[in-house]
């Protein structure tokens, strides 16, 4: 026994212990590697699921916004003929006053304004769905909704003129009529710009998310 220890330099019992230790260390490294790989795989799958969830959220938001824009476009298309007729009557009245003619006129209190919805866009912002869209798409979507605010400004200007008692003083009638005609004309020009903005935005949505063109359930706009 001592002779074997001297020849090999290691006692047989110690040799078996070392071999067992080396085997356990290799197994430990293998098991550690498997655990690390499993964790990384789980994290990768979770990240993939989150990414898919965000993509679907953005797609759903884009589909709703697209439907909302098309609904708003239809509202404006229905309102424009009424406004053109309103403008023709108003222009004829203003022209008669400019000629010094006293012509009775019944002025509409409103602009035959379309009812424009903003629910889909507001919801996309509230749920942070817009953060999963690219910048150019969000910019394109924001433009028509920004124009809605300008329409509100013209509607306010019209109401202030219509309901201001001084507007209907006989001496102020020509000036008030001309101002109302200008407001209505600018309002209709803005609606034409808005129609083009709707078309460009829908084209952008269809380009970045073809699935967004699928019909979605959207509550109809209330009658104007």
Task: Assess if residue 56 is contained within a domain.
Answer: yes
Angstrom CA distances, 21 to 12, 32, 50, 66, stand at 14, 16, 43, 67
**Angstrom distances, CA of residue 108 to CA of 167, 170, 207:** 14, 18, 42
**Residue 170: per-residue pLDDT:** 79
Half-sphere exposure of 144 (CA within 13 A, CB side): 30
* pLDDT score at 111: 81
Q: Distances from the Cα of 139 to the Cαs of 61, 130, 133, 209, in angstroms? A: 15, 10, 10, 15
Q: pLDDT at position 16, please?
A: 53
CA-to-CA separations, 123 to 35, 54, 148, in angstroms, rounded: 42, 15, 17
What's the pLDDT at 11?
52
- Do residues 122 and 61 make contact, with C-beta atoms less than 8 angstroms apart? no
The answer to whether position 24 is within a domain reads: no
Other beta carbons within 10 angstroms of residue 37's beta carbon come to 10
Give every CB contact of residue 76 below 8 A, 6+ residues apart in sequence: 114, 116, 191, 194, 195
**What confidence score (pLDDT) does residue 213 get?**
62
Give the range of the structural domain holding residue 67, as residue numbers without chain letter.
44-213
Q: Residue 105, SS3?
A: coil
Does residue 8 form part of some domain?
A: no
Contact between 76 and 114 (Cβ < 8 Å): yes
Kindly write down the DSSP assignment for every residue of 71-94, as one continuous string.
HHHHHHHHHHHHHHHHHHHHHHHH
174 in a structural domain: yes
> What length does the chain have?
224
Is 16 domain-assigned?
Answer: no
Reading the block at residue 156, the tokens are: 């306010």
In a domain, 4, yes or no: no
Distance CA 121, CA 124 (A): 5
Instruction: Specify if 193 maps to a domain.
Output: yes
Count structural domains, the chain.
1
What angle is formed at CA 131 by the lines to CA 190 and CA 215, rounded to 5 degrees? 65
> Does 31 map to a domain?
no
pLDDT in tens, the chain (224 residues): 444 444 455 555 555 555 555 556 667 677 677 777 677 766 666 666 667 777 888 999 999 999 999 999 999 999 999 999 999 988 988 888 888 777 776 777 778 888 899 999 999 999 999 998 999 999 999 999 999 999 999 999 999 988 888 877 878 888 888 999 999 999 999 999 999 999 999 999 999 877 666 544 444 444 44
pLDDT of residue 73: 95
């Amino acid at each position: 026994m001592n002779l074997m220890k001297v020849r090999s330099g290691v006692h047989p019992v110690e040799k078996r212990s070392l071999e067992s230790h080396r085997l356990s260390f290799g197994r430990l490294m293998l098991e550690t590697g498997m655990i690390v790989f499993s964790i990384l795989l789980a994290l990768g799958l979770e990240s993939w699921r989150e990414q898919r969830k965000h993509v679907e959220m953005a797609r759903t938001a884009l589909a709703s916004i697209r439907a909302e824009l098309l609904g708003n476009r239809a509202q404006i298309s229905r309102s424009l003929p009424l406004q053109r007729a309103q403008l023709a009557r108003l222009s004829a009245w203003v022209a008669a006053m400019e000629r010094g003619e006293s012509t009775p006129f019944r002025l509409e209190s409103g602009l035959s304004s379309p009812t424009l919805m903003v629910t889909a866009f507001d919801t996309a912002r509230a749920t942070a769905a817009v953060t999963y869209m690219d910048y150019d798409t969000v910019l394109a979507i924001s433009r028509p909704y920004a124009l809605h605010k300008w329409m509100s400004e013209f509607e306010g200007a019209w109401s202030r003129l219509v309901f201001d008692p001084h507007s209907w003083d006989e001496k102020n009638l020509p000036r008030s009529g001309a101002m109302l005609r200008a407001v209505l004309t600018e309002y209709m020009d803005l609606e034409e710009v808005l129609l083009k903005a709707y078309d460009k935005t829908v084209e952008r949505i269809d380009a970045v998310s073809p699935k967004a063109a699928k019909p979605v359930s959207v509550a109809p706009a209330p009658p104007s």
